[in-house]
Structure 1
């Protein structure tokens, strides 16, 4: 009886191993779904397989899934049919390493990891763009694991993007760890034409600022501005830091005054100083916006904000006009109000050319043209507003 049982066990073991062999042949022939079918049967009785065969089966499963994806004319259809494909690939690679004690399949795993790392990284980026943040974070985590397994430990974009995602998911501590890792790796081995690194700086400024670690935020801002002097997002993040922490305003004004002494025709710095003045001294802000436009008439921020300044001045006069009963004062306020609207109009119109879908800007143009008695223009802007709101 024992002999029969042993023979039966050997037969079952051989049958299970033959499923793995059949899967290997199917993978070689590009019949990936057939291979997955054989492997499913093999894994149904995994206990009958030797560790070496289990390792091979997991390797083949990863190869089959990647083969399906990379050789398909419609990769999205593959991912729809196999929504957990990347998770299965990661599990299979890990399990293969676990069972492959002799490292027989190490070269195959390196090739698989090289293929999967870039595909999973790009999928993470796609999910990030679609604001599926938790899924994006998972894919970036897998990508980091794969890149490190093939020796690309200095490839920092996955850390950068995972850090940005962590910040959006309100996990500030984890975000800072990833972002600082990316920042350090980039300092050691920068990538040419990398578009993720500026966002590392903007995110770190925001993260440290949110924690109240202002010295760190300022250090990051200084470094980021030095590396990327024309980057609008870094400039805006630094400015937001100053605006959110009024105690920094004097320090900020002093620093940018020094910058302007060295480079008086830097319209970016002129706009920053203007924006720093906006809350406490709008008139000084307007002077700096005018200086920025004198240097660069195409500076959109200066153009937009100077137009808004004139509209706000007119609004203040309108309030005074409505409060007084003195006709002479009313005439005075009305004339001044009209003058401010006339000053605002060309700035708002030029800003509108660059920002045709900005509803707030269009609303300001409706207000200004109405007050100036430009009925046709007011109707034109009203039609634009209505059309945008219907989209």
Structure 2
């Protein structure tokens, strides 16, 4: 008897809920349940026209436009309208009664994730391809997925950078700029979007635009190390080494363990012929990249040009020739430093090794 009463109660509740719906909305629910989507579309359109203040009606209109018509602009307009009218309004979504807010979030997030994650996977696979035609074909598939992700959830920032980059790789710089400039307009104070825009403008050789955007990042957050570093790179490309160094130093103060920054500061001092100043930064960069032979060569060049760090340079190069015994330049640098310190026998021996490696004997 109790089971029968409980069952009757549930049925009664469902009947009451259904009875509260206008007939056009109820018809839409039934049509969707029976997968009669053309009929659902008609009844849904009638519902929003007849009951423009009904949040449930707007939700179904939005879902049908997105899921069945791929009209994402209308979908988003309808979802936003439903949320504005009554985010707590119960709707039927995937067989359950949930709020408009929950239904919209679940639908948008599900479709967004499916398209975005698929695009990221496709891009990764495309980058491994050597055949350019095949690579472009895969990138175009990724483009479609990223655009769909944005259509479903335009306020999510994740797809804008990769979509712009895909267009760049497809050779469409106009579309690449349209995507990223649109993102900047939508999210004018989002650091991630602004930094991405700075990168993309730099790749397009629009240096002044990149600089402008990166300075906007610092207006939003003066503690953004990446923006200082990228501005330093812009000044380095202009051979403005003093200005570049100023930016790099500001970045390093915020990110003291960044080996790339240490290297960039070393390069800026090197190009100003401030070799003693460059040395500690190149040393720091090698701490995280101890197998970087080019880094060793550049640092060795600094020691050779230094007037105050010759003993330190000899110790460094004695270690370097053990690490890279076939590097002729290392032996030559060591010979020069031995000679500067009056260590003739060692200088001759190191120079002989240099000649052997160069085949000059």
- TM-score (norm. length: structure 1): 0.43
- TM-score (norm. length: structure 2): 0.46
Report the structure, 1 or 2, having the larger helix content. Answer: 1
Which structure is higher in RCO with an 8 Å CA cutoff and minimum separation 6?
1
